[in-house]
């Protein structure tokens, strides 16, 4: 004999499933990605130094207590370190070619900058939804 669906009480357990991050973890993970954007806006594009300070601080503070934040902050940190390395390489190309490399560096920098912005926004949205986001073209320097 089956029980009608109306008579089944919903679970009163407020804890989410173990594989789903808590709202607090999702918020910290979202802040790890957004802090890269904020750091870049505050410090400017000065060698990309501001873009990885926020994720680094969040990762160092929350890595032991929140596994989802640990994963997403490391991902944001690795991606922004990769972008900083690319910015330095483009600067070196310009300097070492005595300015001629600017013909390549400026368009590449604009395209990479737009891609960085779009990917950071996508990562922010996905982490807020509780999904583990993986950046494409990212050196995984911090494991």
Distance between CA atoms of 58 and 56, rounded to whole angstroms? 6
**Residues with Cβ within 8 Å of residue 30, at least 6 apart in sequence:** 124, 127, 128
Give the global pTM.
0.80
**Above pLDDT 90, what percent of the chain?**
56
Taking residues 57-67, report their average pLDDT: 92
- Give a yes or no: residue 139 inside a domain: no
Distance between CA atoms of 89 and 120, rounded to whole angstroms? 21
User: How much is the pLDDT for 9?
Assistant: 55
Task: Tell me which H or E stretch contains 52.
Answer: helix 50-62
Q: What is the pLDDT of residues 123-142, one digit of tens each?
A: 999 999 999 999 998 888 88
- Give a yes or no: residue 143 inside a domain: no
- Give a yes or no: residue 54 inside a domain: yes
**Above pLDDT 70, what percent of the chain?**
83
How many CB atoms neighbour CB 63 within 10 A? 14
Among the ranges given (2-6, 88-92, 122-126), the one the predictor scored with the smallest mean pLDDT:
2-6
- Give a yes or no: residue 77 inside a domain: yes
- Give a yes or no: residue 99 inside a domain: yes
**Residues with Cβ within 8 Å of residue 101, at least 6 apart in sequence:** 93, 94, 95
User: How much is the pLDDT for 13?
Assistant: 47
Which residue range forms the structural domain that includes residue 111?
Answer: 22-128
- Give a yes or no: residue 15 inside a domain: no
- Give a yes or no: residue 17 inside a domain: no
- Give a yes or no: residue 58 inside a domain: yes
Total domain count for the chain?
A: 1
């Amino acid at each position: 004999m089956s029980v009608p669906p109306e008579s089944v009480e919903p679970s009163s357990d407020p804890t989410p499933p173990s594989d789903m991050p808590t709202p607090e973890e999702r918020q910290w993970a979202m802040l790890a990605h957004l802090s890269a954007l904020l750091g870049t806006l505050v410090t400017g594009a000065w060698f990309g130094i501001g873009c990885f300070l926020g994720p680094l601080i969040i990762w160092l503070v929350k890595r032991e207590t929140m596994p989802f934040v640990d994963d997403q902050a490391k991902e944001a940190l690795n991606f922004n370190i990769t972008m900083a390395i690319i910015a330095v390489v483009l600067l070196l190309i310009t300097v070492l070619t005595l300015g001629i490399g600017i013909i390549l560096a400026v368009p590449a920098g604009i395209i990479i900058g737009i891609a960085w912005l779009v990917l950071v926004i996508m990562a922010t949205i996905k982490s807020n939804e509780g999904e583990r986001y993986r950046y494409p073209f990212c050196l995984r320097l911090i494991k």
